[in-house]
Amino acid sequence: MRLLIFTFLMLTSCASTSNEAHIEKSPNEKLADKRALYCQLSEAKFQERGWAVSECDGLLFTSLRGIGCGNGVNAFEDAVEPGKWYRSPSHTCFDPTKVGEQGSDSTISKDMYVGLSAILAHTKDHDAANRTVAYGDAHNWIVGEAKDAITLASKCFITPTLQNVFRKISQSQSLAPAADDAIGISTGFRAHLDTVAILVKGKVDGSISNLDLAILKEQAKRQPRNALFQAAKALYDDGDYNAALEILNDESLFPAKQLPDNHQNYCTDYLFQRDEDDSDWKPCPDNQYSTHDGTDFIFAAAITQGIF
């Protein structure tokens, strides 16, 4: 009798273990696992370089990576002049003696400050925001150097709306809402930056305007396979993340067990700042192989998971 009872218990135990082993993970669980894997797989290269995606746009993309992976951006800040930020940790992307050569035509740009505002809002780094505001105020919000006066004004002047975001993050007295950054429906990389800026305003203020919501809806409609646009729209519209989840779990774009590359998946380094077309969204036509660092996936997944 004891043998029969023991045998029965063993069989039911094995059956239970077998059933548990075959439980299918939900799309959200798969997304969380893949985001963690992408952070892990890209960490060694990130530590070696100190920046994500592109060195001279490093502050923007490293900030977005940090929201999903937990890295910081301290190396981009000037150690001598706190609150002054650079495109890369090397602080060498702009060299006035080599204008027109490889690098950038300014030490910093509004694009970089959009990314910076995102990571500081996410981490609630009031001290870094305070330093940024203090440096900006002291320099009339001309926060870098550039090759000429036109570039200085277009890239290195931080607009009142973005200034206001940093003041709110720093918990300083807020400015009145500014209208200088009123935007329409941008395309390409500008659409990506507009979406990130709206997400940051929502993070800081707790809500977004009707105009911002209309922009998010239109961008999601305009680019239905852009997971970041779909996630941003879901966050402030209907809470339906299925479209974003479907894209992020598409293994033709984002493999489940390895980082995407330009040979099998897509050519551009960061997918969601490009409108869908053959040159960026399809594999590169040449034979030069490189692995992407997954920052596009990591940030969009962080929005979809409610991390940001």
In a domain, 6, yes or no: no
Task: State the number of CA atoms in the 13 A half-sphere of 109 facing the CB.
Answer: 19
Residue 18 counted as domain residue = no
Which of 97-101, 131-135, 296-300 has the lowest average pLDDT?
97-101
For 111-152, how does the pLDDT look when each residue is reduced to its tens digit (9 = 90+)?
A: 999 999 999 999 999 999 999 999 999 999 999 999 999 999
Has residue 12 been placed in a domain?
Answer: no
Residue tagged 């998946």 (tokens): 265
Provide the residue type at 68 as one letter: G
Question: How many domains, the chain?
Answer: 1
- In this prediction the pTM is 0.87
Residue 184 in any domain: the answer is yes
Return the pLDDT at 23: 83
Name residues whose C-beta falls within 8 Å of residue 147's C-beta, 6 or more positions apart in sequence. 94, 96, 99, 105, 106
Interatomic CA distance for residues 59 and 76, integer angstroms:
7
Please report where in the chains the tokens 């305009």 appear, as a residue: 222
Which residues form the domain of 114?
27-304
158-204 per-position pLDDT tens digit: 999 999 999 999 985 544 454 445 557 888 999 999 999 999 999 99
Is residue 5 in a domain? no
What is the longest distance spanned by two Cα atoms in the chain? 93
CA contacts within 13 A on the Cβ side of 119: 23
pLDDT at residue 98, rounded to an integer: 60
Q: Which two tokens stand for residue 250?
A: 């598409």
In a domain, residue 14? The reply is no
CA angle 214–215–218, rounded 5-degree value: 85
